[in-house]
Structures are given as C-alpha cells and as structure tokens.
Amino acid sequence: AEKGYKAWLQYNEITDESLKAEYSSYFASLSVTEDSPILNAAVEELTLAANAMLGKDMTIYNYFTDDATIILGTYQTIDVEEYGLSADEVKNLNDEGYVIKSVNQADTKKLVLVGKTDKGVLYAAFQLLRFMQTSNSIDGLHHVEQPKNQFRMMNQWDNMDGSIERGYSGNSIFYDENGFTGDLTRIKDYARLLSSVGINAISINNVNVWEVETNLITSKFLPEVQQIADIFRAYGVQTFLSINFASPIQIGGLATADPLDAGVQKWWAEKVEEIYKYIPDFGGFVVKADSEHRPGPFFYDRDHADGANMLAEALAPFNGVVFWRCFVYNCLQDWRDRSTDRARAAFDHFKPLDGKFLDNVVLQIKNGPMDFQVREPISPLIGSMEKTNQVMEFQVAQEYTGQQKDLCFLVPQWKEYLKFDTHAKGEGTTVDSIVNGSVYDFKYSGITAVSNIGNDANWTGNTLAQANLFGYGRLIWNPDATSEDIADDWVRLTFGDDKNVVETVKGMLLDSWHIYENYNAPLGVGWMINQHHHYGPNIDGYEYDVWGTYHFSDRDGMGVDRTMETGTGYTEQYFSPNKEIYNSLETCPDELLLFFHHVPYTYELKSGKTVIQHIYDTHFLGFEQVEGLITRWNSLEGKMDDYRFNNVKERLHMQLKNAREWRDQINTYFYRKSGVPDAKNRTIY
Ligand code: GCW
C-alpha cells in the first residue's frame, strides 16, 4: 500500500467512460520546443498522469507540428493567436501566470498551456491535472490565472541530526545523523507537492541554527545543498538557508560578529560569493536573531537594521534577500513584572526602524503577536511599516493546534487573518492587500509558513493534515479562494469523488478549527498548555514562568488587561478604529475578550452568556463534537483504503482523549477558582 504517500497527486484511473474519452483525445501527443528543467518537469508530470489516469503513452515532439494535441511553452515561443488567444492576454500576466485553452473544432482538438515564463507553464500543468482529477470537462476550457502573492514560501524547521523542531510526522526528509539523507527521490516528491500548490521558495533548515547546521554555508555541505537546490529549481522553488548570526565567530575564526565591523562585513561578502558559486539562483537567508537565546546584533549594542543590512549588503550583488524574523521578545521575563507585555514586543522593537532597512530585507512577522495560538488578533506590526518589505508567517505545523493528532484544518483561520481589515490606509486595508505588496508597493512581499511534513509515509502523520499543506499553498496563491472550495478540491483529489466521502470529510475539516477552539484555552487567552512539548492542558503550566504567557486567573476573574487606561497599552499599537474596538469592553469581540481584558467570571458576553458559563458550555460541547467527528469518520469505513481509514481513526481517538482532558481540567480549574456552578449541572470534578 502506498500509505498516503501520493497525497493529492493520486492520478487515479479515470473510470467515467465519457470523461476518459474526452481527456484521451487531448492526451495523444505533446509538443514543446523550449528546453528548461521546469518545462521538463511539466512534461514529466503530464506524462506520468496520462499514463496513470488514461493509460496513454504520449508522443513527445520537440518541435511544433500540427499533429500535436498538447502545445506547451512560454508566450514567446507559442503563436498564441493561432489558438484564439491574444498575445496581450498572456503578456500582461505576472511572471508566474498562465493560460490554459482548449480548442475543440470539428477536426482539431488541442490543449494549449502557455505561461508568461516556464514557471507559469508548470503551474498550468498542475492545474489542468487538478481539473481532470476532480472530474471536470476540459472541452471549451479557457482558464487564466496568476498568483496574488510574490513569495509563497515554506520554512522547514529541520535539524541535521534528523529531528524536526515542532515536527509531528517523523524525522526530516533532508537530514540524518548530522548529514544529508541522500534520499533525493523523496525530496523531488516533496518539490512536486509544493509546486503543485504554487509554493515557490523554501528554506531547508531550522531557524534555530545549531552547531552542525552553522556549517551548511561551508564547502563541507554546500555541494549537497546544491543538489537539493537543483531539484527544487526544476519545480520553480528557490532555495534559502537559515543562518547563525554568530557564524563569523563559529566558522570564520573571527573574534566578533558585530555587524558594523569591517572584517565581519567582508567575511559575509565572501561567504555569500562562495554560496552563489554552488547555487547561482540562491534565494538568500532566513534569520532568527536575538530571539530565544539566539545570537544577534543586540549583543553588540547594534539594532536590527544594522544586523539585517549587513547581510543584505552581502546578498545584494546576487539579488539575494534576507528574511529577518520579528519574533523578538524577552523570554526571561519575571512573572512578577506586570508591566512587560510580550504581545507588544515585535512592534516595539521594529516599528521605530521603519525606513532604515535596505530594500532586499524582508521582515518576517508571525500572524499574531504571540505565537500561533488557536486564536490571536493580527500582529499590529502588519501594515504599520510603510517603508519596509514585509511577509507574514503562518504555522502549518500544528504546534498549538493539536500536533497532527487532533484534527484542525487551518485554512478558515488563515482566511480570517488575511481578510482582517487593519485600516492602515483607511477602511479596506486588509491584511492580504498589505502582504501582497499592493498597499505600500513593497519590492518583496508574500507569505511564508512553518512546514508540517516529515518522513512518515504520508508526510504529515495524520492523513487529514495533508489538507493544511495543500490549503496553505492554494490559499496564498489566491486569498480570495473560499475554505469550502479548497477543502472540496483537497478531498476529491485525495479520496476521489464519492459524494458521501466528499461531503463528510469536507464537513469535518471545515468544523475542526472551531471544535479545537471549543475545548482549548477560552476566548483568546491562549497557552494553558504543557511545558516544552505544548500538547494537552496545563492551565498554570506557564503562569509563573519566564515566557510572558499568562492568564492571571484569580477567584474573581481572568484575562490579560492590555488596554491603554489600566493595562499594558498594547491596544494602542493598532490603527483606529481597531484600537478603540479592542480597547473597549463594549466593542471587543467575544472570541478575543480575554486576550485584551481582565474580566469577572460573571461578566456577560455579547452572546448573552457569562464567561464562566461560556467556558463550561464550550468545553462540554467541544468534547461531544469530537465524538461526532469519530461517528462521521466511522461512516466512511470501506470507502477508502484501510491504511488511511485507520490512520485517521487512530488519531481521532487520541483527539478524544485530549479533548476529555482539556474539558475536565479547564472546567474543574475554573469551577474551583470561581465557585460558580454549571447552570446545567454537568459533571465537574
Ligand atoms: O514558540 C516558538 C516555538 C519554537 C520556535 C519559535 C520560533 C523555532 O515553540 O520551537 O523555534 O517559536 O518561531 O522561532
């Protein structure tokens, strides 16, 4: 059994006879006159799929001939007008855009896949195959698309010992025992998965760059990085590395890593030149500096613009880019110190530096001000720096959202974040319009995310977590796509067209984020998790610790006062009217109430319930909903292979155990604190 390995690239045989006949008439032969690794990848994918889905062996011509049924290439070489397209239609697309057109006149049936560049052609091939795998007719097709974001990136948190920081699906596919696994087939298949959903950049090592990984930018490892970059390049994916800010000391033999030191600058310039000898289109660096004990410019009394610009100078001659992370906060906070607020940190550190960064620096900002909780407000830094390139960082890995045991389809959450109105330039300045670079005309922009894959046969541990990887790519390609459509596509591609399977799995996915939220930390307060591994409830797990993640529950109430008048003043960081909306108890939305305010347990929510009754109700409900997920899934037995069925079934039972623990610990804790009984008298311990 392939155990879920093919994910959404199943290419199952087409069983509907009339569709099979229709597709087959187009998949007789293919003509491509340009030669590039990316175009070859497109042809290889189409050939593979034609074989698997239609049992056809296409003839490939490397010249134009009227005999060819598929014409594939860039607009410079294809005479698009011959196929009823105007040259402008393709020319006016961005570099990754494409057109798919079918011509079906009486005696000719042809498919034209034309891209602005070869990347567009590859994306067209994957889209065409998606149409076919989801049983759409391709007669009369005229499909035009281009991505709405420039960088569509993936960050691996893989270490060279083979472990993955926050990995929930086995070990790294890249590394093992402080070297490379050498399994290039697996990496190629990962490249296919990424490219098929439009990902165009990847950093291949953890942002925490430890001792061994610091050497990735040396001749010891660069030949193997080059091999990996060659594979990704053929799928339109540009390779980046995370670097250690202290590299000049650790591997350069210098006494300092001070960004303003001439020797350090020279060292980086030479280092970058060396890297580009191996990888001429190397993307650049991802940097976690002065964050969670990693070295950075603060150590030398320099600011983050000094640090980022030093690397940017070195990369600029090669068009390289620095992704500089804004996850900078005091992780040694004294819990007694009520004036420090971790949520404020990114804005406080970076906003004053607007205008000081070189134009090949991109600030990488987590979607929320804390750390990928089940619910957070948008980071106020997004949209606040007019003169500085920004990308937003999501986490596809489910560190705080069930660790790929619990089902949590994150597309609806990301969608809410992307459509949030920051009001940065008045009404309608949504997050997606900022991160796609159109509001401030950034040179570089887009979205990045922490990957959720490992070397488990099915890539993501829980087979249903594949939907998050797929959905991430599809959503950032086009943030206007709906969660429903993305989920629908994923289920059909992964499990086929059975109506029951499609409706059931889709429903489970779309409900899952709210279900998870129901049994988790309530009303946006976050955390309440076990230390270190972050799975399962531990309400006071971080309450008296250094990490700045507190809920301040006492006998009367709970929540973090972040208002301007009596709290930390964090609300001030938002543009009006968000600032006022969050600052006021009257207008703050229920789901974020405890993120912004400390309220009595008896405080009445907009829903009409008290906070304490809301806690009880959602936690009893969340557990029941997980029981419901199990019933829904069980109804699908026999409708798919046993491996995938049992894989998800096992995970759902782990989820039920987790939900029960959350329900009972949260309810018991707050009952004991508040003394307020459940209005419905259910069992609380
Ligand atoms: O919250 C933390 C995670 C760390 C991670 C860090 C980060 C890579 O728990 O494991 O380190 O976020 O984003 O840098």
DSSP string over 366-404 = ESSSSS--SS-PPPTTTTT-TTSEEEEEEE-S-TTTTTT
Q: Which atom of ligand 1 is nearest to the CA of 166?
A: 10
Confirm or reject: Cβ of 126 under 6 Å from ligand 1.
no
Our answer to whether residue 371 is catalytic in this structure is yes
Ligand 1 centre and the CA of 378: distance in Å? Answer: 18
48 CA distance to ligand 1 middle (Å): 39
Any ligand 1 atom below 6 A from CB of 366: no
- Among this protein's residues, is 561 annotated catalytic? no
Element at 313 (helix H, strand E): helix 304-315
Q: What is the pLDDT of residue 253?
A: 97
429: left (phi over 0), alpha (psi -120 to 50) or beta: beta
Half-sphere exposure of 209 (CA within 13 A, CB side): 27
- Closest ligand 1 atom, residue 393 Cα: 13
Ligand 1 close to Cβ of residue 165 (< 6 A): yes
List, for residues 555-608, the tens digit of each pLDDT value.
999 999 999 999 999 999 999 999 999 999 999 999 999 999 999 999 999 999
Q: Which residues contact 213 (CB under 8 A, 6 or more apart)?
A: 159, 160, 205, 206, 242, 244
Determine if the pTM surpasses 0.90. Answer: yes
Element (H, E) at 184: helix 184-196
Assigned token pair, 640: 């798919």
pLDDT computed for residue 104 by the predictor:
83
* Lookup: tokens for 363: 């600030």
Q: Is 562 in the pocket of ligand 1 (CB under 6 A)?
A: no
pLDDT in tens, 214-229: 999 999 999 999 999 9
Q: Best mutation site among 371, 400, 529, 532 for ligand 1, i.e. most ligand atoms within 8 A of its Cβ?
A: 371
Return the HEC string of 534-563: CCCECCCCCCCCCCCCCCCCCCCEECCCCC
Q: What is the pLDDT of residue 132?
A: 98
Q: Which residues of the chain have pLDDT under 50?
A: none
Q: Which of 213, 287, 324, 327 maximizes ligand 1 atoms within 8 Å of its Cβ, making it the mutation to test the pocket? A: 327
**338 C-alpha to ligand 1 centroid (Å):** 23
ipTM beyond 0.90? yes
Q: At 20, is the secondary structure helix, strand, or coil? A: helix
pLDDT of residue 425: 97
Counting ligand 1 atoms within 8 A of each CB, the residue from 156, 158, 165, 290 with the most, and so the one to mutate, is 165
DSSP notation for 412-479: HHHHHHHT-B--BTBTT-BHHHHHTTTTTT-SSEEEEEE----SSTTSSSSGGGHHHHHHHHHHHH-T
Distance in Å, CA 577 to ligand 1 centroid: 31
Radius of gyration (C-alpha) of the chain in whole angstroms: 26
Ligand 1 neighbourhood includes 327 CB (under 6 angstroms): yes
Q: What is the pLDDT of residue 105?
A: 74
Options 96, 158, 376, 399, the catalytic residue: 399
Report how far ligand 1's centroid is from the alpha carbon of 53 (Å).
Answer: 42
CB 210 near ligand 1, within 6 Å: no
| Tokens encoding 210 | 């430890």
How far does residue 157's CA lie from ligand 1's centre (Å)?
Answer: 9
Please confirm, yes or no, whether 96 is among the known catalytic residues: no
Q: Give the distance (Å) from ligand 1 centre to CA of residue 346.
A: 14
